[in-house]
Amino acid sequence: MSEKLILRALKGETLPVPPIWMMRQAGRYLPEYRATRAQAGDFLSLCYNPELAAEVTLQPIRRYGFDAAILFADILLLPQALGADLWFVTGEGPRLSTITTQAEFDALKPVEAVHDTLSPVYETIRILKRDLPTDTTLIGFAGAPWTVATYMVAGRGTKDQGPAHALKAENRPVFEAIIDRLTEGTIEYLSAQVEAGAEVVKLFDSWAGSLKGQDFDDFCLTPAKRIIAELKARHPGLPIIAFPREAGDRYIGFAKATGADCVALDNSVSAQWAAANVQVDGCVQGNLASSHMVTGGEALVRETREIVEAFSKGPHIFNLGHGITPDADPENVALMIETVRAAR
């Protein structure tokens, strides 16, 4: 078969060697990224410069030969396109103007506005479609509504997503309106990414683990189901990866409940548990601890082999359980890839 390896895994094929890519594979751990970032001037300028954003997306492909490239962008570009102010504080991360009242919500732009602001992102994808190796899959992405909402409500990242939890308890109609607007905007944004050339899209719900009970259903599962259904209606056959990070037992049945083709797993669950409880429904992605990219050594090799073996009886895409960190050693990434491809 000539089809790309990741597309085959996403269709449910068990491959002798799992395809591999890495969350945040274009990033600060690479010296070539840091040079391009300096050329851009600041993070947002890099995101909105199609030539430079394409360049940093291509860098890990040239260096390592990953089976997929993931678009270089940021999950907070969408709320910016909807009218929130966005800036980045060096050494601290993103800041946004907050949305906590009906009046602030009413001041947001309609979902159609996303295309004007985000047109440079679509141009980045068109460049990548032209310049990527023919056997490399191009992945588009967006943040899931709950995760993006936590930033919009707090104005920044928080350890416990407390401000978002407080708003949904104190003014649920406003919070639900934010989720709905983000759901609609995410559909438009990802659909446009596919039209520009993305072959797969991934929905990152990085803070899904702080939702419990009915809230998990209402604010993680239901929006994902709606986004996936609409995208598949518009783009039949589109493979979609969902990542409800730290969902724990709620990983079980998540693919069936949402329509996702693959569930990405964090490293708080074991590969053996996930093989028995999640992979039974289809493709899984993950889930080596990103700390191994810092520490390397025999522990990296051993755990990489264990993950490959645990998932060897079903469709699997090898990845980390979270994004690679800026202090990672590029040589450890090479060791991980070598170990995966020699494991079977």
Residue numbers annotated as active site: 24, 28, 37, 74, 151
DSSP string of 61-92?
HHHH--SEEE----TTHHHHHTT--EEEETTT
Q: Counting runs of H as helices and runs of E as strands, what totals does the chain give?
A: 17, 9
Tokens linked to 317: 């895409």
Residue 75 phi/psi, 5-degree rounding, is -65, -20
Residue 318 phi/psi, 5-degree rounding, is -75, 135
Strands (E), 159-259: 200-205, 240-244
Neighbours of 214 (CB within 10 A): 8
DSSP string of 232-278?
HHHSTT--EEEEETT-GGGGTTHHHHHT-SEEE--TTS-HHHHHHHT
Residue 295 phi/psi, 5-degree rounding, is -90, -30
Question: CA angle, 78 as apex, 184 and 323 as ends, to 5°?
Answer: 110
Neighbours of 237 (CB within 10 A): 8
SS3 content of the chain, % helix, strand, coil (to 5): 55, 15, 35
